C-alpha cells in the first residue's frame, strides 16, 4: 500500500489528480497486488506544487521533478524497481506535456522497515498486511458466492 509523493514547480501538471491516480494504479500493477479495496483505497499519490524558486540544482535550474515511492520492505524486486522508475518517468513527462522532462525526473524508491507501515492506527508487519489482504479476498469471495451484492466501494470502484 504505497505512498507516492511528487514534487514539482507549480503548474507543471495540467491535471494533478489524474497523474496521482495513474501513478497509484501503475504501482499496483507493477507490484502485482490483488485488485481489492484494501489496496485500492491505500495506494495513493500526492502531488506537491512548489512555489517558484523552491527547487534548484547547483547551476540554478529548477525544472526538475522529484518522485518518492514508499513501499513496504521487499515489495519491489530489481525487475519491479526498474519498471517503476521507467513507467513513472514516462507518466510524469506525459502529464507535463514535456518529453524532455524524462531527463529531469528523479525517482527515489524507499522501503518502510518491518512493522513501520501504519494503517488504521496500527504499525503493520508484512505478514499482518498479507493476512489482512487474504481475509478481505476471502470475505469478497464469500459475499460473491453467497449471492450477496457487492457495493461499488467493495468492488474497489
- State pLDDT tens for residues 34-80: 887 778 888 999 999 999 899 999 999 999 999 999 998 888 999 99
- CA angle, residues 110, 114, 118, in degrees to nearest 5: 80
For residue 149, what pLDDT is reported? 54
How far is 104 from 93, CA to CA, in rounded Å?
Answer: 9
d(CA 48, CA 67) in angstroms, rounded, equals 10
The domains found in the chain, sorted by start residue, are: 3-114 (3.30.429.10)
The pLDDT confidence band at residue 156, using thresholds 50, 70 and 90, is: very low
Q: What percent of the chain has pLDDT over 70?
A: 92
**pLDDT tens-digit series, residues 80-136:** 999 999 999 999 999 999 999 999 999 999 998 888 878 788 887 777 777 776 877
CA distances in angstroms from 21 to 68, 103, 130, 153, listed in the order given: 15, 23, 23, 16
In sequence order, the β-bridge partners of residue 70 are 3, 110
Q: pLDDT tens digits, residue range 124-145?
A: 777 777 777 687 777 878 888 8
Give the largest CA-CA distance in the chain. 64
* Selection from 41, 63, 40, 65 nearest residue 53 by Cα: 63
Kindly report whether the global pTM for this prediction surpasses the value 0.85.
no
Q: What is the pLDDT of residue 22?
A: 98
Q: Is 63 helix (H, G, I), strand (E, B) or coil?
A: coil
The pLDDT, as a whole number, for residue 155 is 43
| pLDDT for the residue numbered 148 | 60
> In this model, does residue 19 exceed pLDDT 50?
yes
Amino acid at each position: 500500500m504505497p505512498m507516492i509523493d511528487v514534487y514539482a514547480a507549480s503548474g507543471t501538471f495540467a491535471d494533478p489528480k489524474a497523474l496521482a491516480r495513474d501513478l497509484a494504479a501503475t504501482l499496483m500493477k507493477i507490484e502485482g497486488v490483488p485488485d481489492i479495496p484494501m489496496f485500492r483505497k491505500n495506494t495513493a499519490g500526492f502531488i506537491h506544487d512548489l512555489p517558484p524558486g523552491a527547487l534548484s540544482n547547483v547551476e540554478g535550474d529548477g525544472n526538475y521533478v522529484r518522485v518518492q515511492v514508499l513501499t513496504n520492505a521487499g515489495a519491489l524486486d530489481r525487475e519491479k524497481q526498474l519498471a517503476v522508475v521507467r513507467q513513472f518517468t514516462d507518466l510524469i513527462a506525459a502529464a507535463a506535456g514535456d518529453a524532455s522532462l524524462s531527463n529531469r525526473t528523479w525517482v527515489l524508491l524507499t522501503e518502510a522497515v518491518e512493522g513501520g507501515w501504519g494503517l488504521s492506527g496500527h504499525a503493520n508487519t508484512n505478514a499482518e498486511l498479507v493476512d489482512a489482504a487474504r481475509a478481505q479476498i476471502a470475505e469478497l469471495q464469500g459475499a460473491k458466492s453467497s449471492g450477496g451484492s457487492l457495493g461499488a466501494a467493495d468492488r474497489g470502484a
